[in-house]
Amino acid sequence: MKKVISTDKAPAAVGPYSQAIEAGGFIFCSGQVALDPASTEKKLVGEDAATQAKQVLTNIKGLLESQGLTMENVVKATVFAADIKDFQAVNAVYATFFTKEPPARSFFQVGALPLGAKVEIEVIAYKS
C-alpha cells in the first residue's frame, strides 16, 4: 500500500507527480529544485549551485519533517547537476545537512534540469 505525501513545507509539484510517496516503511521524495515553498512564483532561489543546493536541501528537510523525520532518516540521495564543475560547491552545502553518517549517494551531470535549475536532489528515507 502506498500513501501520497503532500505538504506546504516543500514546493508544490510542477508536473503530474507527488512530492513524495510512502511505501513499505520508506519515503520516496521526488526531485526538488530550488523553489521557495512560500512563494506562488515558480522562480528559482539563487543563481549559483551552492545557493540552490541550500534551498533544495531545506525543501527536502521540510518535506521529511512534515512526516516526523529528519535528514538522518535519509538512506539514499541522488544529486543531479547541470555542471559537474559544481561538485565541490554542492558538496560543501550538502555536508552541512548531513553532518553524521551521511546517506549513500550518486552525483550526476545532466543535460538540463527543470526551470533551468543548476541542482536537483531526490532522496529515499527510511521511516523506522
C-alpha cell at 116: 533551468
Interatomic CA distance for residues 60 and 108, integer angstroms: 19
Average the pLDDT over 28-51 and give the result.
Answer: 92
Interatomic CA distance for residues 12 and 35, integer angstroms: 9
Interatomic CA distance for residues 82 and 112, integer angstroms: 6
Interatomic CA distance for residues 80 and 109, integer angstroms: 6
Quick check: 113 and 121 in contact, CB under 8 A?
A: no
C-alpha cell at 60: 527536502
Asked if residue 88 has pLDDT above 80, the reply is yes
Q: What is the per-residue pLDDT across 40-85, written as a single tens digit (0 to 9) for each?
A: 778 899 999 999 999 999 999 999 999 999 999 999 999 999 999 9
The pLDDT score that the predictor gives to residue 66 is: 95
CATH of domain 2-126: 3.30.1330.40
Asked if residue 30 has pLDDT above 90, the reply is yes
Three-state SS at 121 = strand
Mean pLDDT of the chain: 95
Global model pTM greater than 0.75 = yes
